[in-house]
Structures are given as structure tokens and as C-alpha cells.
Structure 1
Amino acid sequence: MDGVTSLARGLTSAQVVGAKTNDVPRRSSRSLSAIVRANVFTLFNLVIGVLWALILIFGEWQDSLFGLVIVANMLIGIVQELRAKRTLDKLAVINEAPVRVRRDGAERQVPPRQVVLGDLILLGPGDRLLVDGEVAESDGLEVDESLLTGEADPVHKRPGDEVLSGSFAVAGTGSFVATKVGTDAYAVKLAEEASKFHLAHSELRTGVADFIKYITWLVIPIGALLIHSQLSNSIDLRTAITGAVAGIVTMIPEGLVLMTSIAFAVGVVRLGRRKCLVQELPAIEGLARVDVLCLDKTGTLTAGGMDLDEVLPVRDDLPVDAALAALAHLDGRPNATAQAIQVRYPAAHDGWKAGDTVPFSSARKWSGADFGERGVWVLGAPDVLLQDGDAYDRAAELAATGTRVLVLGRTAGLADGLAGEPGDRTGGEVGVAPVEAVAPVAPVEAVALVTFKQRVRPDAHETLRYFAEQGVTVKIISGDSPVAVSAIATGLGVPGGDRALDARTLPHDDPAKLGELLDGHTVFGRVTPRQKREFVRALQARGHTVAMTGDGVNDVLALKEADLGIAMGAGSPATKAVAQVVLLDDRFATLPHVVGEGRRVLANIERVANLFLTKTFYAIVLSLLVGVAGVMFPFAPRHSTLVNALTIGVPALFLALAPTLERAKPGFVPRVLRFAVPAGVLCAAAVLLSFWAAHSDTSTLLEDQTSAVIALFLTTWWVLVLIARPLNWWRVVLVGAMAVTFAIGLTLPFVREFFALEPGDLGKDLTAVGISILAAVMISVAVKVAGTLRT
């Protein structure tokens, strides 16, 4: 980049024009063409399309109504995903943190897409690296590359070192020259995949895919058997083709995938209206399965930022105010603590010029600087910098009240190795030594205690109570002292909040013991970023589905490890990049809606799956029995269209989007099979028995089929009633409306003619009703018995 970028001024406006930009595909959604292809070119559409063509050629057009399913599937799927795409695109723009660059000698903020090759990009704690580059300036700059290398310790960077996209700054400040942008960047795929609009692996999606795979293999031989039997037993080719198509079409759960996609997409849109960005659709499922929620106190239970309360001198003969002001103004990107101090001390005092500095990091828990003849000063956690003494005891007393306390102190020297070679590795670890193991080389003398007021979120108490009522266990994990965290938790009424554990005393080499302690306690203080990740892993090892919330760079590792990462909108770009869900408005009270939406989607999709797969199983049984017995199929495609619309299609649309608070449980596939198999078998038996009972030498095929259709509707309608439970007013109206609609259809001549229904013999039709009632009782018993079994 020689001759192109000046470290003092960066690129000029003229150099920016025409330079290669950091143009990458919008991460939140796929393109319109991809959406159309995904909804048009499907296996279902191919199979249904072929069968539709057969009916249009050999049958009557009324029997081709099932073909409209193709059109409905495509239109509804495309429209719903486009709605979700628009929502996600708008929210993604809000979520994109601007990048600080130096151009024409001035600092500017530009959108990520406007970063160009050769830009001088400025870095501070929490900034995510979107492009690859070479470090130009470093003032204690530490970069976490764990998302690329898997190693948790930050790497010290100096001028000339390479930095890669996908990493993020955790301490210090600096700048780097962009050497690779756009799709050339090393980790652009990693960064984009973390928040791409897609339907990735999940138990629900896998279960549905397995159903489809097995059913597809069953359709081929059963369909061939059915076609052969119909052609062998009918002198009318049109009737034979119509009967075979009716059986095959009914076996295909054509709406199941559609309803699943709609439920996911609608969930995204609903949460988007609450300023909640769902960056991965499977996160909707994860929301429902969460049973442990790990909260970082700062930024989650407490509002962002804090206020400087008191400065309590321990020694009156030293320049406390001047030292505090100097330390607070060291960093060009001050953290919340430094910002609170800067409000009271707007500028550093004259003569306080720092030499060697140690930037603050959440793992180190202190910062410091050598001010020459004025001494070496440090500011940080009392229980890290002090061993004992009056100041230590006084700090503990203040922390017990929930006050955040730091100690301002003097020491003879800063930590060994902090000025060492950046990127050095000792013993396989990143840096000269792990950051959390570094401490000042000399004892610290307390000069003053500095207290801060934390702003507890007004909605925190109500939100925590919601999770307690819903059976979600809350774990408060913080880098603050255990006493301070305990005070906040107790004030919010968190069960077990008075028994906080100091994470420094927890076992690091015994995951089983750690998991046991995590299960038995609620509040943990002095937790390092690496420990947060260990906590998540230990809870997962004990069978928990873990969600983690956070807003700072110290939460990134745990957010990435958790089953569901939830970031605050005001948090660092790094946290928002790795989280599956981002609360853009920073409202903790949004979390209950997030969990509720996940439970709604999962519970309703299971209901819908029961409906569709009951239909599939009764069609498989009917096709097998009809094929083996060599008789005519008991109903035509138009009959199947009518019954399926009233007992599956219309109800499924309402049930898939209905509110529910049911907690999700594992075992989706076995539960659906325990319901759908016995229900489908009994429905098929009732239909065949009614068809056989109606047949006589004087009856017509349409009369026999009408009795079978009555039995099919009544048995599948009863399945709908069972699935719709618990029955509230709107569900009673829904199932009642379907029954009334069918009854009216049987009485209206033009409806009977259109759907080829001939209820001519009252006795035979009543026989079908009686058989259906008996089958309904047997279905209720069979489903209840099957539901008590565990596979």
C-alpha cells in the first residue's frame, strides 16, 4: 500500500472514488430470484404437477382442484418470505454498526459497504473487523481471534501485524489499512453465515424432512400398486386414473413444509415489529426450547452506562482528582466507566502525560498508566488489585449494598510482559501470558475508592418473574464482585440471589463438578470471558438448552457457544455479529415475547404436523388395502380436496399462527407418530367399512363414495377436534364452522353436483355416521394410550 495511504490522513476523497468497495450480499435475506426458485422448484410441485396433468388429460376438471395447491403453496410461500425479507432487511440496516475511518485527515463514520480497499480503519474496544488488513497504529491494541482460531486469549497487535475479518478488538486502540475487502476478506463467509436468512438444521426441520423422505419412498411402490389395481378393476380408463390419483395425492403432505415455513417467517415478522432482529430462522425454534437463561448483569439487568457517585479518598495528600481525570482520558474509545468519570472530569489536568499504558479489558479488570514523575496509577476492581487492608474492607462493605466500587491506586510498576512482542506465544497460549493472569508487578497502594450508581432496568423484575413462572431457570453471570451482583439480584427478587459464588473459586478442570455447582446456584461474580463459555458448556452437558444474553465483548465467546445468543442493540458490534437474536431497542422486557413467539411457532407446527400426517397415514393404509383387495378407490380427488380443505387446510392456517404458551419438549418425531399412525389407521378403516357397507348391486359408485366421504370427513374432523385442544371460544368456532360448512355442502344441489356427492340412501349414510362415531371413540382411546408410551 506504499504511496497510497498516509497514516496521518488516510485516503483522500479522490482516492476513494473508484476504489474497490466492501460489497457483500445483504446478510439478512436471500434474493428475490432465490426465494422464487425455492418455492417453485420443489419435489412436491413436481409430483402434484404430474398428477394434475394426468387428471386434466384423462379426468374431469373438478377433480383437478388439488392442483391449485401448487399455486397456493408458491404464492403464500413467496409472499410470506418476502414479508420476512423486507422486515429483516430494514432491521439489518439498523443493526449494522458504522465503521470509523480516517479520510482527508479527519475521522468519519461510514456504512460497512462504503469501506474501500486502502482505507485506514480505526479500532477501539468492541469494534468488529469487517475486512482484512495490516496494523498501522497500536496503543495497547488487543484483538480476540477466537472466532477464527478457537483460542480465547487476546493477541497483542503492533504495527505491521496482520488482522483478519471475523475478529474483534477487546482492549486498547489502533488502526489498520484494509488490504482485502468484500468477498476477498478471509472470514466474510463466517461473518455472513452467522446472520443469514435460512432454514438451517433443527430438530423440527429435520423431523419434517425425515417424514417427507420416508413418505416419498412409500409413495412410489404404493402408487404403482394402486394404479395397477385401478386399471385392472375398471373398464373406464378415466375412472381408473382418477381413483389412482386420488390415493397418491392424499398420501402427500403437501402443506406441511409450507406451514412450517410460514410459521417461521411470521414469527420473524412479529418479532421484527418489536424491534427484535432474528438473524437465523432456526433461532425461532431455539427460543421455545430454552430452559436456562444466562444473563450478564451489566447491560441486561442494569441499563447501559452508569453515573459516578462518590470519590472517597483514602489518602488526602495525593492528587486524586487529577489522577482520575488522567486515567479516564487515556483511551480514545472510553468504556462506560471512563465515560462516567469524564462527565465529572471533562479534561485531563496539565502535566499528566502517560508513558507506558495498560488498557482496560474485562478479563484483566483494571487499567493503568505510568505518568513519569507523577507516578504509576491504576484503576480497577478492589478484589483484584488489593489483598487486604482497610480500603479492601471498606470496598467490600460498599459492594454489599449493590454499589459498583473501583479502587484508584498507585504502584511501583505495571505488569511484566505487557510491552512485549505482540502476538508472541508462550506454551501454546496467545500473547506473552493469558490476560487474566497478568497483574501489576508491585503491590498496589489504595489512594481512593470510586463508587458508581448502576441503573437497574425498570422492567427487570417483571421479566424475571415471567421466566420463573414459565419454568426457565435464570443464571446471573457477571464480571463484577459477587457481593455487588448478589445485591442487585436480591433486590430484583431472584431466587438464591443471596448465595453468590465467586467464579475464581470454581473448578476449571472438572466440568461435571462445575455443572453441579451451576445447577445449584443462581448468581456468579468475577466471571471471566473464558469462564462464561465454560459455564454454557457445563450447563449444556447436563442436558440444558441454554440462552445467553450480553452486550459487551466479554460476552462474545459465551454467546457463540450458547444454543441461543441474544445481544442488546446498544452492545458492541462483535456481540451483535455472533448472536442469533438482537434486541434492537435494548429492552429486556422484549425477552418474554421472544420466548413466547418461539413456543407459539413450535407448538403450532406440531399440531399442524399431526393433521397432515394423519392424512398421509390414512391414505397409505387405504391405498395398500385397495391395491391388495383389487377394489375401486373409495373417493375421487375432488372429494379429497373438499375434506382436506375443511379438516386440514383452513384449520391448519389458523392453528399454525395461533398464540400459545406451551413449553417445547424434545421428541417431536415420536410424538407426532404416536398420534398420526393410530389416528390414520382408524380413519382408513372407517372409510373402507363405510364404503363396503354402502355397496350393493343397485348402488352407484358415487353413492358408495359419498358414504365413504361422510365417514372420512367425520373421522378426520374428530382428529381436528383432538388436535385443537384445549378448546377455547375461537377454536370451538373454527371446528364448528368446518362441520357446518360440510353439512351445508351436502344440502346444496350445486355443491353436491360440483363435488360429485350423491347422499341418496339415508340408511347407508347413517350407517357411515355410526361407523364414524365408533371410530372417533377408538381414535380418542388409541391416541391417549399411545401418548402414554415412551419411545
Structure 2
Amino acid sequence: MTHRIPEGPPAEGALGMASGSAPARSPGLSATEVAERVARGEVNDIPVRSSRSTADIVRANVFTRFNAIIGILFLIILVVGPIQDGLFGFVIVANTGIGIIQELRAKRTLDNLAVIGESRPTVRRDGTSAEIPTGEIVLGDLVELAPGDKCVVDGVVAEADSLEVDESLLTGEADPVVKQPGDKIMSGSFVVAGSGAFTATKVGREAYAAQLAEEASRFTLVHSELRSGISQILKYITWMMVPAAIGLIVSQLVVEDHGLDEAIRRMVGGIVPMVPEGLVLLTSVAFAIGVIRLGRKQCLVQELPAIEGLARVDVVCLDKTGTLTEGGMDVREVRPLQGADSATVGRVLTALGASEAHPNASLQAIIEAYPAGDGVWECTGTLPFSSARKYSGASFTESDGTDSAWLLGAPDVLLGKGDPILGDVDRLDREGLRVLLLARAAHPLDAPHVAEGATPTALVVLEQRLRPDASATLEYFAEQNVQTKVISGDNAVSVGAVAGKLELPGAEAPVDARKLPEDPEEMGRRVEDGAVFGRVTPQQKRDMVGALQARGHNVAMTGDGVNDVLALKDADIGVSMGSGSEATKAVAQIVLLNNSFATLPSVVGEGRRVIGNIERVANLFLTKTVYSVLLALLVICWQIPYPFLPRHLTLLSTLTIGVPAFFLALAPNKERAKPHFVRRVMRYAIPSGVIAGIATFTTYLLARHHYRGENALDAETSAATLTLFLIAMWVLAIVARPYTWWRVGLVLTMGAGFLIVLVTPWLQDFFALKLVGTTMPWGAVGVAAVAAVLLEIAWRWVARKFPA
């Protein structure tokens, strides 16, 4: 198994090697012992789910507050009849079914992706190391650890070679903890340096972080501004429905002296349209389809609201290596320094490569250039790489018996200020090359200041491979007014050169993070103004993300190494590469399994589609809620029959809201997500609903004055329905802007559907709609035309008064 150490500064070509004096390796459990433990049920059998269970999905879609309300009203209509007044019940059944099907499709997509991205720890059994699924670890297994590995169960350290473990995800303490044989190790922690192995002592649900791990990788529908905003709206509507229902039933039963059946039908007709039940459904469906679309691009969304969250970000922080550049590197040249012998330099580099069990990209390039052969020096000690230290080292017994210690790391860290060698390093950095310094240590590796007095021996110049799609991705973010900031542990000049090749604005002025102020406010200003930062420590990455958030930014952080974990965890949205360390994938909300930075625009675009379209259709649903509440109040105050039966409003809702909303919610939408969802929607929905309600009630009053006779109420209802339909169609036409051929076709098709009802005799009877005469129908059209003008004025005024 190749473990990838996070790419950071040039020092990250450094390594953590196995000591030549290490005790004999334990062979681990035998196959027989594993089988016995499996038979006893001592298996790490926690179901790490990427999605809700099927039962949870069905329950969440069926057992909702509004399904209960609608269900009760539907049962009432089934008792008092006729069936056409209960059509709204069948619509709810269909909507719920669609929601369940779409979420099950999303679940299947997520589960399949989760298998691809699942953590596969290395376990030693019968003396052989092999990757196995997390769920197959048994009690007593010997689990091997390397930099970047996540501890998936609790245990006791059995082997440790300069092993350092970060437990910040569990304890909040950012400093890594050095582990020795016999020390406890907790699930949820991860290795930042060194290597080792531990014996599993607690598996399954007994493991310390089992519940956290299960929760972290579960498909969720929470912590979303969109969903919480809709829930807030629904709560207010619930409060309004009860007094409205009481008022309507009393009004229709007592004041108008209707029969009980008719009074109930009119009451249900007034209450049902107040419920924007489809809005909740469409939000779930839009998110679910977003998951499916992204899944086809090998993007695992570990938390559903992450789609929405990434669409809201205005700053994306990128780690250079693994994001802008590919993991692989090549040795461009090796420059001996101060008269060093080229052959000696080659032997040292060969020894370093041969001693590293888990090479990262930088060291792998050195190994390929200097492969191990006969007579490799014996490794006698190691100093593992640390992102804070930015170099690592190893000691050897050379062929002639001489002992020596060597350091490999960042030249500007290992050399003193003003050293002339740094001039050559700067020139190479400006070309976008990565430079490592090989130096002979003057002190033992365990000395407090081992780097002091080190003798420069050679510069190892590495060439990084730019991702071919990085430039287009950065250009996309620039077009979308999303700031891009490259935050790397590498030399600032080198990082700036790489960013410059990708034409990132601001790359010409890279910032050395060691010179950043510690004051959070001042740091926030500097980070906000800059675009490229080098020599950034893991803690600084975290501080920079926090400083940007404190200045009101929504921050996304991408990374693939353990030095990115703290920043990924604190960012609004964490994005990890699929080839990244297990630690980064554990804390990230989004994992790009194809390791392609170019997938990010798709995630941003999907989020914008979801948020923009849900806001668009929310205007339709909440306009209906507003005019329904207003009509109920006007009817109660005027003490007249409620103008509509449930079948009328079911027809109107289907043609002007239900069907068009499904198409509009899934349409392309590149508009940037904006905050304050509830406030923005209500600014449009309230004036639109008030205009629609008053205009419809005006037509109804005119029709009551115009028509006389036994069946006058049917004629009055038909005229009011015509006005309300035309106004609702105008609201739909406004919401559907900007027009495309399919949007125009959608509006015209809905209008044609209502026309078919009006001219088809059996549909007239079924929906109790028949326009009588010509005066009142044309009067209804006239009132709707005036309302349409007022709608245009209101929408344009709101747009001017509250610009985005």
C-alpha cells in the first residue's frame, strides 16, 4: 500500500524512515485466529453509511406535518364527497412517491460511491500486510499506520517509529502526540509523522469515535440555510391554518347557513392551498438529483447541504500540491554544493529513498532517479517529516563504517538568512520549480536544534506537473466572482510562479506566511488582499480560514494531506481529493474521487442550480399561500360563501405551480447563491399574493352582484377562478424569466391545459367550471390585466429597492 504524505513545502520531500534497530515485526493474527474472532462476533461491524436507510427515507417523506394535515382533510372529503374535491390527496401521494424514488436513487448513487472511497486500512496477518475493508477488522488485529492514515478502531501501540498522532478531531488539541509502544490510540485520530502499528482492543460500536465516524459519513438533510428557511416559513403557516380553518367552518356553516357537507368542502377548499407542500418535496428532489448528477462525475457528497454550501462560498482556498499540480514529480537536476562529490550525493539520496517505506511524491521522484542497488547504507535512526518543522532526516552507517546524519528539506529553513545559496534557490523558485536542500547534520537527530550548523551538500531540483484542467477551473471561479487563494507550505516565490503559469490574478505578489501578523483582524486584511501564500504551517492554514470567516466570507478549503485537515475541518466546506489521506476524507464534506480539481465547478454549478431554482419556485408556492390566507380572511369578514371548492384550487395549483415548478426546479441556473432566503422570497411573495387575493376577491364580488339565481354560486366561482388563474399564470411568467424556448413552451402549455378544461364539456362538469355569458368573463380578464400591471410594478420596485 502506498501512503501519500501531504505535499507542502520543498521539505516535504523529506521522510520518516524505518529504523534499522527496530525490533522484529509481529506477524499479527493467523487466519485461524481471525476466523475464531469472526465466529464470536468480534468484528468491526459498524455500518458506515453514506446515506439514510430506505426506512428513514420513506419515513421522512411520508410522515410529515403537512402530509398529516392534508391526509386528514382528504379523509374528510372522502366522507362528504365528491371525489373530485379530493384530488389534492392523490397529488400528495404522487408527490411523496416521487420524492421517495428520487432520494432512493440518490442513496444508491452515494452508497456505490462510498464503496469506492471507503477507507481500507492495512492489516498484518500471518506476517503479510494487506488492505481490507474497515468492517473486516477483528479484535486483536495488528493495524499498520503510515502518515495520513486514520485510526479506524481503538487500540494499543505495538510498534512505533517516531510515530506522531493528531487527536485534534477528538480532543480539540492541535499539537500532535508522540506515541510509544504501550500507549493508547483512539479511533478518529490520524498519523501526521512516522509509522507504526497498533493492536485493536475495541472494535465495532465500542470504539471511542464509532458514533462520530458513522455520523460524519452519513447522508444528511440538516444545517442548510435553504431547508431551515423553508421550515421557518412552514412553521408560520401552521400557526395561521388553525384559526383560518375555525373561522371558515363557522362562516360557512353558521353565517351562510350551508349544509354541513358543503361547509366542510368550502373550508377544505380554503385550507388546502395554504399548504406549500410541494416546496418541501422539490427541495429534497432537487438536492437528490444534484447528488445523482455529481455522482456520475465521481464526486461523493458526504453531507447533502454541502452542495448548497459550496454554491454560497465566495472564497476558495487551494492547497497547491495535488490541487493545482499533479501528485507525480520528476527530478530535473541535482546541484552539488561546496565541492561535494556527485557520487556521494547520489549514494545519500539512494539511501534516503531505500529507507523510506512510505514515500511521498517528492521522495518517489528521487527514488526513481536514484534506485536502490547493492551496498545501500544501513539506516540507524530517523527524524520524521513535520509540517511545522519543514524538514526531516535520517542517520546512517556508511559503507566504510562512518556514522552520518542527513537532513532533507526547505532551503530557506535549513540555511541561515543571507546565505548565497538562497539566491540560486530564489531563481529556481521563480521558475516554479520545487527545490530541496540536502545537508549533512552537525548534531544528532534527537538534538533540539539539529538543523543548526548543517553543511549544505546539494540542491535537489524537482519539476511539478501542472494539472491540465487547473487553468480553466481558476478562470471559472474568476468569472463567478469567487476569490481564489493558493495556500501552500512551499516557498512563496515557487508557489507564485506555479500560480502565475495558470494566470491566477495576484500571483505576481506572493506572500511569505511567516511574515503574516498574528493579530486575527490584521491577518484577515492581509489574507483578504493576497492571492498566493507560501510557507504556511497547518495551524496557519486554520487561522487564515478563520480570519476570512471573521470578515464575513464563506470559505471552501481543498486539500489532500494531513497538513490540510485542521483547515478543512474549520472551513465552511471542506473538499478532499479521493487519493488524499484518510484523515482529509474523514473531515471533508465533499470528496472528489476522480482527483480532478476540474470537478469543483460542477459542484458549484449544481449548488447554484438547486438554490436559485428553489428560490424561484418558492415564489410560486408562497404567493399561493399568501392569497389563500387573504381570501379566507376576506370571506370571513364579508360573511359570504368561500368562492372555491378544493377541485378548483387543485386544478390551478397543478397548472400554475405543481407541474411548472418541477421543470423550473431542475433547470440550469448559474446565478450566484445569495443569503437571507426567507427574506428574499417573502419580498416578492407577499405583494404578489396580496395583489392576486384582492383582484380575485374583487371579481368574486362583481360576479355576486352580476349573477342571480339558484346556480349563481357556480358562475361566480368560475369567474373568480378565471381571474385567479390568469394572475397565477402571470406570476409564473415572471418567475420563468429569463425566457428560453422551453420556458415559453412551459407557460403556454399550462395555459392550454386550462383552456381545454373550459371548452371540454365533461371536464367542465368534473371541475364545476363553466363561464356564463360574456360580460363577467371579460370583466374577469380585465381585473386580471390590471393585476398583471400591478404585479410588474411590484416586482420591479422590489428588484430596485433590494438589489442583489
Look up the equivalent residue of 2:369 and give its one-letter code. Answer: R
Look up the equivalent residue of 1:374 and give its one-letter code. Answer: D
| Aligned counterparts, 1:253-332, within 5 A | 253-314=276-337, 315-317=339-341, 319-332=344-357
**Mapped contact 2:414–2:451 kept (Cα < 8 A):** no
SS at 1:707 equivalent: helix
**Mapped contact 1:368–1:414 kept (Cα < 8 A):** no
Look up the equivalent residue of 1:564 and give its one-letter code. Answer: I
Quick one: which of 420, 433, 436 aligns to 1:403? 433
| Aligned counterparts, 1:331-410, within 5 A | 331-347=356-372, 350=375, 352-372=377-397, 373-387=402-416, 388-410=418-440
Q: Give the unaligned 5+ runs of structure 2.
A: 1-23
Residue number in structure 2 paired with 1:17: 35
> Cα deviations across residues 677-712 of structure 1 (Å, max 9, x unaligned)?
111111111111111111232352111100011011
Residue number in structure 2 paired with 1:425: none
Please, which moves more after superposition, 491-500 or 314-323?
Answer: 314-323
Look up the equivalent residue of 1:306 and give its one-letter code. Answer: M
Q: CA deviation at 1:392?
A: 2.5
**Mapped contact 2:147–2:193 kept (Cα < 8 A):** yes
Please, which moves more after superposition, 353-362 or 156-165?
Answer: 353-362
CA distance in 2, matches of 1:363, 1:331: 20
SS at 1:334 equivalent: coil
**Mapped contact 1:144–1:170 kept (Cα < 8 A):** yes
**Mapped contact 1:326–1:348 kept (Cα < 8 A):** no
SS at 1:361 equivalent: coil
CA distance in 2, matches of 1:205, 1:7: 53
| Aligned counterparts, 1:183-582, within 5 A | 183-232=205-254, 233-314=256-337, 315-317=339-341, 319-347=344-372, 350=375, 352-372=377-397, 373-387=402-416, 388-414=418-444, 416=446, 439-440=449-450, 442-508=452-518, 510-582=519-591
CA distance in 1, matches of 2:444, 2:680: 62
CA distance in 1, matches of 2:92, 2:384: 61
Look up the equivalent residue of 1:17 and give its one-letter code. Answer: A
Residue number in structure 2 paired with 1:694: 703
Residue number in structure 1 paired with 2:786: 774
> Cα deviations across residues 250-304 of structure 1 (Å, max 9, x unaligned)?
1111111101100111111111011111110110111210110101100000011
**Mapped contact 1:172–1:331 kept (Cα < 8 A):** no
**Mapped contact 1:671–1:787 kept (Cα < 8 A):** no
CA distance in 2, matches of 1:771, 1:783: 18
1:708 paired with 2:720, answer yes
Look up the equivalent residue of 2:430 and give its one-letter code. Answer: A
Residue number in structure 1 paired with 2:66: 44
Quick one: which of 761, 764, 769 aligns to 1:757? 769
SS at 2:379 equivalent: coil
Q: CA deviation at 1:7?
A: 5.8
SS at 1:675 equivalent: helix
> Cα deviations across residues 454-499 of structure 1 (Å, max 9, x unaligned)?
0000111111111111101100111100110011111111111010
> Cα deviations across residues 362-387 of structure 1 (Å, max 9, x unaligned)?
22211111224231111111011111
CA distance in 2, matches of 1:287, 1:712: 39
> Cα deviations across residues 492-518 of structure 1 (Å, max 9, x unaligned)?
11111010000011112x111101111
Residue number in structure 1 paired with 2:6: none
Q: CA deviation at 1:14?
A: 1.0
> Cα deviations across residues 312-354 of structure 1 (Å, max 9, x unaligned)?
1113347111111112232321221221111122226626222
Residue number in structure 2 paired with 1:430: none
CA distance in 2, matches of 1:593, 1:501: 30
**Mapped contact 1:287–1:597 kept (Cα < 8 A):** no
CA distance in 1, matches of 2:167, 2:712: 76
CA distance in 2, matches of 1:528, 1:602: 35
Q: TM-score, normalised by structure 1?
A: 0.95
Please, which moves more after superposition, 614-623 or 340-349?
Answer: 340-349
Residue number in structure 2 paired with 1:685: 694
Q: Which has the higher contact order (CA 8 A, sep 6+)?
A: 2
Look up the equivalent residue of 1:606 and give its one-letter code. Answer: E
Change (3 A) 1:348 1:162: farther
SS at 1:632 equivalent: coil
**Mapped contact 1:59–1:239 kept (Cα < 8 A):** no
Look up the equivalent residue of 1:729 and give its one-letter code. Answer: W
| Aligned counterparts, 1:151-170, within 5 A | 151-170=173-192
Residue number in structure 1 paired with 2:627: 618
Change (3 A) 1:76 1:763: same
Q: CA deviation at 1:27?
A: 2.1
**Mapped contact 2:48–2:213 kept (Cα < 8 A):** no
How many pairs align? 765
CA distance in 2, matches of 1:594, 1:45: 32
Q: CA deviation at 1:519?
A: 1.3
RMSD across aligned positions (CA):
1.5
Please, which moves more after superposition, 32-41 or 669-678?
Answer: 32-41
Look up the equivalent residue of 1:316 and give its one-letter code. Answer: A
Look up the equivalent residue of 1:256 and give its one-letter code. Answer: L
Residue number in structure 2 paired with 1:435: none
CA distance in 1, matches of 2:779, 2:107: 52
CA distance in 1, matches of 2:257, 2:604: 56
Look up the equivalent residue of 2:112 and give its one-letter code. Answer: K
CA distance in 2, matches of 1:748, 1:590: 51
CA distance in 2, matches of 1:441, 1:401: 27
**Mapped contact 2:395–2:445 kept (Cα < 8 A):** no
CA distance in 2, matches of 1:581, 1:561: 14
Q: TM-score, normalised by structure 2?
A: 0.93
**Mapped contact 2:700–2:717 kept (Cα < 8 A):** yes
% of aligned pairs identical?
Answer: 56
Look up the equivalent residue of 1:8 and give its one-letter code. Answer: S
**Mapped contact 1:391–1:449 kept (Cα < 8 A):** no
Q: CA deviation at 1:72?
A: 1.4
Quick one: which of 683, 687, 691 aligns to 1:674? 683
